[in-house]
A and B are shown apart, each in its own frame.
Chain A
Amino acid sequence: DVKVTQSSRYLVKRTGEKVFLECVQDMDHENMFWYRQDPGLGLRLIYFSYDVKMKEKGDIPEGYSVSREKKERFSLILESASTNQTSMYLCASGQLTQPQHFGDGTRLSIL
């Protein structure tokens, strides 16, 4: 079974802090994704990566950056956290022809 592990289930940070969300997958997938889920808005893609050191903007990249130094690890960075970034963050990984597999999510609160 594919395992996508997000480092924290719950996280509370303050406005203006730099926040790191970590994600690790164990299936050697090329593609990794970061989404946020908000009530009434569904899943929205923030950034994705199709290879080490490669990244592409998704639908809502503003205020975020990402890092992929190793194939199995994909980090989401909130450069200066703001209250409107309070959300559920979901990491996923996948291969070209296979459905994406998701982690259990990180519920992030920015105070």
Chain B
Amino acid sequence: DQQVKQNSPSLSVQEGRISILNCDYTNSMFDYFLWYKKYPAEGPTFLISISSIKDKNEDGRFTVFLNKSAKHLSLHIVPSQPGDSAVYFCAATYSGAGSYQLTFGKGTKLSVIP
């Protein structure tokens, strides 16, 4: 049973426009969510996170929105740049995990076209 779903395997966006990556989850125990970015032949790098006590978190060009009632979060990148082309993974965990175990989605490959 897939608890974290990224239903779009890929997304293409023009440089300068907004990229919106979506993520849905099924486990209502999840209370902390993260986005990771991964380039080929490198490990994932942490991008931004959000706690369930918030509905928005912003860091420069990256904003994550959380809709708890819909069990949905999204990552907005504005403006998109060619260097943002990568695979983006959504991940979730819950405070009771103790060891901070993450559950990942399958990823969305973002291509930003110059």
Give the B-binding residues of A (Cβ under 8 A). 4, 9, 31, 33, 35, 40-45, 48, 50, 56, 58, 90, 92, 94-105
Contact = CB atoms under 8 A, between A and B. Distances in A.
- For the complex of A and B, 3 pairs with smallest distance between CB atoms: A102-B43, A42-B106, A99-B46
Contact of A41 (B34, B44, B106): B106
Contacts of A35: 104
A33 B34 CA distance: 16
A33 B43 CA distance: 13
Given A90-B44, A102-B43, A105-B42, A42 B98 contact: no
Contacts of B46: 99-101
A40 B9 contact: yes
B41 interface: yes
A40 B106 contact: yes
Contacts of A41: 106
A90 B100 CA distance: 16
Contacts of B106: 40-42
B81 interface: no
Interface string B87-114: 0010000000011111111110000000
Contacts of B74: none
Nearest to A49: B99
A50 B89 CA distance: 23
A33 B104 CA distance: 13
10 contacts: A31-B100, A40-B9, A41-B106, A42-B104, A42-B107, A44-B104, A94-B100, A96-B100, A102-B45, A104-B42
B53 to A, nearest CB: 14
Contacts of A103: 43
Contacts of A100: 46, 100, 102
Interface in B45-94: 45-46, 49, 89
Contacts of A9: 41
Interface centre among B49, B98, B100, B103 (most CB of A within 10 A): B100
A41 B9 CA distance: 10
